[in-house]
Amino acid sequence: MSWLLKTPKDLGCFEGIDGINNIKVRHRLKKHFFDDSYRINPYQRPNDKKLFKFWKNRATIFKLINNGNIYLTDELWFSVTPENLAQFTANYVRHCLPNGNCIVDVFCGGGGNTIQFARLFEKVYGIDSNIDHLYCAYKNAECYNSAVKLKLIYGDWEESLKKTLVKNLGKTPDCIFASPPWGGVDYLRQDTYDLEEHLQPSPLSKILSVFFSVCQNVVLFLPRNSDLDQLSSITHDLLGPDEKCKVVYVKDNGYMKGILAFWGRPFYDFSEYYPTEIEEEESHELNNKRSSKDLEIKMEDLY
Ligand SMILES: C[S@@+](CC[C@H](N)C(=O)[O-])C[C@H]1O[C@@H](n2cnc3c(N)ncnc32)[C@H](O)[C@@H]1O
């Protein structure tokens, strides 16, 4: 496969991973590395006007974006998890799984969450069906010095999780995280977001049943107006009447971005402490530095 990627360093990330067997996809990836595609010039506004507000708030997406080493497709501008929130999620999961080594980030996109997990866990697998997004995730992870901890898997979520990952990993991951597509901005037009009808690429019950067949510790990032009754009833249908789902509401800078839903004993038996204090690596030159105190957290157990 050495002909595929530009440098040995790049090769390491994709080595041994199923999913880029398709010749067209290999060429596309090779071309991206060669052309340095999708690198963001932080001081140049994107052509698409719809992306302006994301560009203006770019330092909330990746704090290092103004250094000029971040890569985003148009879709990633609005779908990457903001860094504060991704840091909180990774810190929380680390706190609940102190002995965990391996996280799987299904729908890993541009690596917003993957990179923060890699900061705290030994091995992180990222799965995405868009090769451009995987390429961006890899480049962004390089910017955060965490590419070495990643394995990126190109393919559909279900097949990759069941076949490729289990085959590569040979053991159960400690946690599956996923931030599935919400189906566009229209999700806010509804009072309540129907998780069976609108969640992409499959209804919530389908996504969860596949995840639970691989691992009992699952975390999902879902719309803030998600139907909580649905969350509760799907939990009982899949896991039994005694199981529950923990929901964490996260406001970033006064704005509710979404909810985090947690399944699995380590997350229920959670102590009162939670790590809202986010360390910032001194080596990073942070432009537009924002405090973790912007985050407000509220928790609720759904029975
Ligand atoms: C909301 S984005 C994830 C953002 C990510 N958490 C981040 O911080 O960059 C959802 C991702 O799901 C991917 N996706 C959509 N359908 C998929 C499928 N069937 N299998 C795997 N990935 C899929 C999209 O390509 C997109 O990158």
Residue 223 lies in a domain: yes
pLDDT (tens digit per residue) in 48-104 = 999 999 999 999 999 999 999 999 999 999 999 999 999 999 999 999 999 999 999
What domain range includes position 220? 8-302
**How far apart are alpha carbons 83 and 87 in whole angstroms?**
6
27 Cα: distance to centroid of ligand 1 (angstroms): 21
Of 173, 160, 83, whose CA–CA distance to 128 is shortest? Answer: 160
pLDDT confidence band for 289 (50 / 70 / 90): very low
**What is the distance of C-alpha 79 from the center of its chain?**
10
Of 161, 158, 106, whose CA–CA distance to 137 is shortest? Answer: 106
Question: Is any ligand 1 atom within 6 A of the Cβ of residue 83?
Answer: no
The single residue listed with the structure tokens 């299904």 is: 106
Residue 3 lies in a domain: no
What is the average pLDDT across 286-295?
43
Question: Is any ligand 1 atom within 6 A of the Cβ of residue 179?
Answer: yes
CATH number for 264: 3.40.50.150
Coil/strand/helix, residue 222: strand
pLDDT (tens digit per residue) in 38-62 = 999 999 999 999 999 999 999 999 9
Strands 175-178, 255-263: parallel, antiparallel or unpaired by DSSP? unpaired
How much is the pLDDT for 5? 42
Question: Is any ligand 1 atom within 6 A of the Cβ of residue 82?
Answer: no
Question: Is any ligand 1 atom within 6 A of the Cβ of residue 145?
Answer: no
Residue 203 lies in a domain: yes
Residue 248 lies in a domain: yes
184 Cα: distance to centroid of ligand 1 (angstroms): 12
DSSP-assigned beta bridge partners for residue 247: 261, 300
pLDDT confidence band for 25 (50 / 70 / 90): confident
Question: Is any ligand 1 atom within 6 A of the Cβ of residue 136?
Answer: no
Strands 245-252, 255-263: parallel, antiparallel or unpaired by DSSP? antiparallel
Residue 2 lies in a domain: no
Do residues 38 and 132 make contact, with C-beta atoms less than 8 angstroms apart? yes
Number of domains in the chain: 1
Mean per-residue pLDDT of the chain: 85
Residue 158 lies in a domain: yes
Coil/strand/helix, residue 169: helix
Residue 1 lies in a domain: no
Residue 121 lies in a domain: yes
Count of Cβ atoms closer than 10 Å to residue 218 Cβ: 22
